Amino acid sequence: MSEPRQAPASELAVVYGTAIDPALAIAEERDALVAAGRWLSPRLALIAPDTPPLRLNSQGWANLSPQMAGDLAGPEEMLRFCRYTLERRTPLFVRPIRLFLANYLDFVEAEVERQRPALEAQMESSGLPAASDFPTYRDWLFSALLPMPNAHVAFVSKGDTIGAVEFAHVDILFWTGRETLAVVLQGLTMPTPSQIRRLAAVEAAQPNFRVIHIPASLAGERSIPEPLLEKLRGCWQGLALPFGLFRVPALSVKIANAVSVPLQMM
Amino acid sequence: MQGAISKNMKLLAQDTMRGFGSVGEGMSLQIAKDGRRILWIAHEGPPKNFSAIDVSDPRKPSVICQTDLPHANMRSNSLEVTGDLMAVAYQVSTPGMKPAGIEIFDISVPEHPRSISFHDTSGPHSRGAHCLWFVDGEYVHCATGAADFEPSHPRDDQFYMIIDVRDPAHPREVGRWWYPGTRVGDAAPPPKRVNPLPLDFMRGPDAFRLHNANVYPERPDRAYIGYIDGGALILDIADKSAPKVVSAWNPHPPYPGFTHTVMPLFERDLLVITDESIVDNAEDWPKLTWMIDARLETNLVPISTFPIPPVEEFGPKGGRYGSHNIHENRPGPSFRSEEVIFGCFFNAGIRIYDIKNPYRPETIAYFIPPAPENSRVATAQINDIYVDERGVIYAGDRWTGGLYCLEADI
């Protein structure tokens, strides 16, 4: 068990998924999460400047137990599990977010295939056989950044209700370890004045909070444009090993020690 | 405004439209070539046809044009603007009268609307056009009778007609659809009446006729129609000459009838469907706004209704009380949202809803003006609503209150 972690003042609380009352979600989970030294639950992320990147294999978001992980035979099933779980974390009636998530995971899958030679070479340089079934280059899939759908970012109001906690909504949120990427899908819904004001307030308060607007098209494929792609591509950079979906910190350290490769960006 | 009841809304201005403050079901905004914002309003009834109001500064609306109907036994009621073209619906009080149909105007000089053409839909059994939709500059979708249409019931006279106005000087009908059994000679039997009324009462309920037909550029192959006692229908209009039913949903009976508007929320696979209250003092309660799960287009499932104040309180206030028009997310200089719905509810005023959780629509703002002077009822009767892309809300009173310009803190 890690030491209880003090929440830094600049911590960003992000309620995501299907939560209807973000304030309630924070009230119910934040203290327990902090006390446990964790930063991610199935509906709440606590992001501080020193929080590692939130990835598909970050613990906490999927409620994946070791037993369940053992039942997932290989990266294909694990990725299917991620798709299913993210879908369940997304409100029923927001098709653009669902399309974005599907396209994002397609992109991750394709990107790993594109980078296969480099990833296999990296495994070999770490002393792992590239041709083995476990681990495989496809285990890098789960180093992809975790997309947090329907995210409500808490901030302290400086307006009429000074001191009150308000929430800015974005469609998908990523934490890269350095910056928050807040994706706003521009579709058939115009923002209300309060939505604009709230997002601007978070941007002003958080220097590493970057809002990326993406046109949401109803017609067929919705691509993931630059500069978001640039941020998402190569999200395994700095990671020495592929960990698959279930990433036990202790196991990670053990493997790392065995291959004498320093772990970065855990 | 003294006597107004409001939450998170502020009145910017009221304009009683030169003393003719009866607003029908047509409100549409034009951005004129000189940049002015001109709100076009169809009047509820005679003597006025339509008015144009400069709302460039919504705190100082100003009527710049007001026209008269040819005679007192007709009404315009509905209009739509696309660019510098405006389509106006004409309905007469008695079948066989004229003029009945659709008139197209060039409004490039808003002070001087110029008639381009008239599509005549009069006939021995027709009252002409009650409501129309015109947002693409190409087709008018309207509720109208026709010379060759003999309804099996006199109040079922207005069906769905598609009129090609790509050459606005020469409009032509390209398609129509009517509820099976409502035309003499149909193979289907006439539909069973929901609340039968005497046959000599032409206006109002007990009707299987079209009210609104909404067609959006996102789905040009679909018409979303409110067929009064026939409920809500989705039509496939990929072939405009032969519309086909995709699906239907009808809560009437047991509910008291009069489906009015069917508005799709394309990115959310939802429909917002309104009934229209048509009897004073809530005698026809409940008239609701419904949220429909349309994820499976062929299996429409109601999941909630929009909250409104208690009928016990508002019914006795006078005038109509209940659902009617909503801001319809039309393209153009129009606020579009699939999360916020703006509606008008007669004596319950203008009401704004957050529908992010469609299972539980939430009232986030409202404005109920006091009864306007000289109204025939004791309350304001908010009849129609339009919201521009700046978020300025325009609402009209049915009798004398005219135009209310508002903003909402939402």
Tokens of B369: 């003006």
Residue A264 has pLDDT above 50, yes or no: no
Does residue B71 belong to any structural domain of this protein?
yes
Q: Considering only CA atoms, give the Rg of chain A.
A: 19
| Buried b or exposed e, range B190-229, using 16+ CB within 10 angstroms | bbebbeeeeeeeeeebbbbbbbbbbbbeeeeebbbbbbbb
Q: Which of B269, B339, B360 comes nearest A95 by C-beta? A: B269
- Predicted confidence at residue B121, as pLDDT, reads 98
Q: Name residues whose C-beta falls within 8 Å of residue B200's C-beta, 6 or more positions apart in sequence.
A: none
More confident residue, A4 or A239: A239
Q: Name residues whose C-beta falls within 8 Å of residue A185's C-beta, 6 or more positions apart in sequence.
A: A96, A97, A100, A171, A172, A214, A215, A216
Does residue B408 belong to any structural domain of this protein?
no
- The answer to whether the complex's ipTM is over 0.85 is yes
CATH number at residue B80: 2.130.10.10
- Predicted confidence at residue B200, as pLDDT, reads 79
Does residue B32 belong to any structural domain of this protein?
yes
Residue A30 has pLDDT above 70, yes or no: yes
Is residue B257 within 8 A of residue B371, CB to CB? The reply is no
Q: Which of A95, A188, A192 comes nearest B410 by C-beta? A: A192
CA of B339 to nearest chain A CA: how many angstroms apart? 7
- Tell me the residue range of the domain where A241 lies: 12-257
Q: Considering only CA atoms, give the Rg of chain B.
A: 19
- Predicted confidence at residue A226, as pLDDT, reads 74
Does residue A216 belong to any structural domain of this protein?
yes
Residues in chain A within 8 Å Cβ distance of B266 = 188, 218
Q: Report the number of distinct structural domains present in chain A.
A: 1
Does residue A4 belong to any structural domain of this protein?
no
CA of B65 to nearest chain A CA: how many angstroms apart? 31
Q: Which residues of chain B have pLDDT under 70?
A: none
What's the distance, CA B40 to chain centroid? Answer: 14
Task: Identify the DSSP state of B123.
Answer: B
- A169, A185, A188, A197: best mutation site toward chain B, by most B Cβ within 10 Å? A188
Q: Mark out chain A residues that contact chain B at CB-CB < 8 A.
A: 20, 91-96, 187-190, 192-194, 216, 218
Q: What is the dihedral of CA B330, B69, B172, B150, to 10 degrees?
A: 100
Q: Kindly state whether B329 is in contact with chain A, defined as any CB-CB distance less than 8 angstroms.
A: yes
Measured between CA atoms, the residue of chain B closest to residue A189 is B337
Cβ–Cβ pairs < 8 A, chains A and B: 51
Does residue B398 belong to any structural domain of this protein?
no
Q: Report the number of distinct structural domains present in chain B.
A: 1
- Predicted confidence at residue B304, as pLDDT, reads 98
3-state helix, strand, coil in chain B (%, to 5): 5, 45, 55
- A190, A195, A198: best mutation site toward chain B, by most B Cβ within 10 Å? A190
Q: Which of B269, B336, B358 comes nearest A188 by C-beta? A: B336
CA distance A29 to A15: 10
Q: Kindly state whether B221 is in contact with chain A, defined as any CB-CB distance less than 8 angstroms.
A: no
- Predicted confidence at residue A162, as pLDDT, reads 65
- Tell me the residue range of the domain where B97 lies: 25-187+203-331
Residue A155 has pLDDT above 50, yes or no: yes
CA of B300 to nearest chain A CA: how many angstroms apart? 14
Does residue A205 belong to any structural domain of this protein?
yes
- Predicted confidence at residue A236, as pLDDT, reads 78
Does residue A221 belong to any structural domain of this protein?
yes
Residues of chain A with pLDDT > 70, as a percent, come to: 85
Does residue B230 belong to any structural domain of this protein?
yes
Does residue B123 belong to any structural domain of this protein?
yes
Measured between CA atoms, the residue of chain A closest to residue B293 is A93
- A65 pLDDT band (50/70/90 cuts)? confident
Task: Identify the DSSP state of A4.
Answer: P
Does residue B407 belong to any structural domain of this protein?
no
CA distance B289 to B341: 11
> Range with the lowest mean pLDDT among A27-36, A114-123, B11-20, B286-295?
A114-123
CA distance B335 to B337: 7
